[in-house]
Chain A
Amino acid sequence: TQLLEQSPQFLSIQEGENLTVYCNSSSVFSSLQWYRQEPGEGPVLLVTVVTGGEVKKLKRLTFQFGDARKDSSLHITAAQPGDTGLYLCAGPNAGGTSYGKLTFGQGTILTVHP
């Protein structure tokens, strides 16, 4: 079974600070996805990283896929209160036939204080 472990589980910072969230596995993933989930909502896809070493930027968010495709990170620059939420990483299960069979990490709860 492929597992994804995220760290930290909780992150509480002040507006304007930078932060990094990590997603690690002992298994290789063909791709990894990052989602953001707000209370009362389902996960919303932020990005998919596919190539080892890939870096993708989405405004103040930078996503990186490890060279070995076993880990990923999400870096937020100058965090804002609107960034508050649950951040999840997920990857397709290698043993599955369905690309939509995703394994999720346990999530990082980010709180950005004004």
Chain B
Amino acid sequence: EPEVTQTPSHQVTQMGQEVILRCVPISNHLYFYWYRQILGQKVEFLVSFYNNEISEKSEIFDDQFSVERPDGSNFTLKIRSTKLEDSAMYFCASSLRGNVLTFGAGSRLTVL
């Protein structure tokens, strides 16, 4: 069964460092998303991406965050200067029509 793959599974970084989280969505999907889940809190929407541009973003997704689809297969989330409060599980998801999402297993980010 097709799946969304995310790398790395766990990244530890120092505050202020840049981090790139990578995702390979399902190959024929057109809509791409990033969500995050801080430990003990709800899963939160960060950003949606369609037709090579951001279609929607939450208030969490400030100037420190960016997304890219550099080629036909990868979808990345970059955090420019990480803060302690960025520590969370980051989930990538993709969808064919924008209604049914398939989530990856997540990348755990720990900022020290």
Measuring CB to CB, which residues of chain A are less than 8 angstroms from any residue of chain B? 40-45, 48, 88, 90, 92-93, 96-107
Q: What are 15 A-B contacts with C-beta separation under 8 Å?
A: A42-B103, A42-B105, A92-B99, A97-B55, A99-B99, A100-B33, A100-B48, A100-B99, A101-B33, A101-B48, A101-B58, A102-B43, A102-B45, A104-B42, A106-B42
| Pairwise interchain contact B105-A48, C-beta atoms closer than 8 A | no
Complex Cα distance, B105 from A99, in Å, reads 21
- B62 CB to nearest chain A CB (Å): 17
**Which of B43, B55, B98, B105 sits near A104, CB closer than 8 Å?**
B43
| Pairwise interchain contact B98-A100, C-beta atoms closer than 8 A | yes
B91 partner residues in chain A, CB cutoff 8 A: 42-43
With known contacts A42-B4, A42-B104, A100–B93 Cβ distance under 8 A:
yes
Number of interface residues of B (CB under 8 A): 26
Complex Cα distance, B48 from A99, in Å, reads 10
Measuring CB to CB, which residues of chain B are less than 8 angstroms from any residue of chain A? 4, 31, 33, 35, 41-45, 48, 50, 55-56, 58, 91, 93, 95, 98-106
- The chain B residue sitting closest to A104, CB to CB, is B43
Classify the interface of chain A: helix, strand, loop or mixed: loop
- B24 CB to nearest chain A CB (Å): 13
With known contacts A99-B98, A99-B99, A100-B99, A41–B105 Cβ distance under 8 A:
yes
Complex Cα distance, B102 from A100, in Å, reads 10
| Pairwise interchain contact A98-B55, C-beta atoms closer than 8 A | yes
**Which of B4, B56, B102, B103 sits near A98, CB closer than 8 Å?**
B56
| Pairwise interchain contact A42-B56, C-beta atoms closer than 8 A | no
A104 partner residues in chain B, CB cutoff 8 A: 42-44
Central interface residue in B4, B42, B104, B105, by most chain A CB within 10 Å: B42
| Pairwise interchain contact A44-B48, C-beta atoms closer than 8 A | no
Complex Cα distance, B99 from A96, in Å, reads 13
- A19 CB to nearest chain B CB (Å): 21
Would you list the 5 A-B pairs with minimal beta carbon distance, nearest first? A42-B103, A104-B43, A98-B48, A98-B56, A99-B98
